[in-house]
């Protein structure tokens, strides 16, 4: 049986300028990261959409060193905080 290698979309350290979104997308799609950067710059000039797309990518795409994204980490921390609070609103001590 042949072994399949699944490509995962990750923010990369190699070629990173700000948060690694463009370099990660470029590596995932198989194009140069500068093409992605130029596309986002053009979208930013015409309505500011590029900045929003980059910010969403930064929140949703995990770093190559982590399994979860920044947004997933924030949600899990919030869920842990909620589970540590009882119905009276008092904080329970963590084990």
Domain ranges of the chain: 21-83
Nearest one of 23, 13, 11 to 67, comparing CA atoms: 11
Q: What is the pLDDT of residue 64?
A: 86
Over residues 5-38, the pLDDT tens digits come to: 888 888 888 888 888 899 999 999 999 999 999 9
Structure tokens at 85: 């609070």
Concatenated DSSP letters of 21-63: HHHHHHHHHTS-HHHHHHHHHHHHHTTSHHHHHHHHHHHHSPB
Rg of the chain taking only CA atoms, in angstroms: 18
Provide the pLDDT confidence category of residue 70 given band limits of 50, 70 and 90: confident
Intra-chain end-to-end CA distance of the chain, in Å: 46
Q: Is the pTM of this model over 0.85?
A: no
């Amino acid at each position: 049986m042949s072994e399949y290698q699944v490509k995962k979309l990750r923010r990369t350290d190699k070629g990173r300028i700000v948060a690694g979104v463009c370099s990660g997308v470029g590596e995932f799609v198989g194009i140069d990261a500068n093409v992605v950067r130029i596309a986002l710059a053009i979208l930013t000039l015409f309505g500011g959409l590029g900045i929003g797309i980059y910010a969403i990518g930064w929140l949703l795409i995990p770093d190559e060193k982590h399994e979860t994204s920044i947004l997933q980490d924030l949600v899990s921390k919030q869920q842990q905080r909620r589970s540590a609070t009882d119905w009276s609103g008092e904080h329970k001590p963590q084990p």
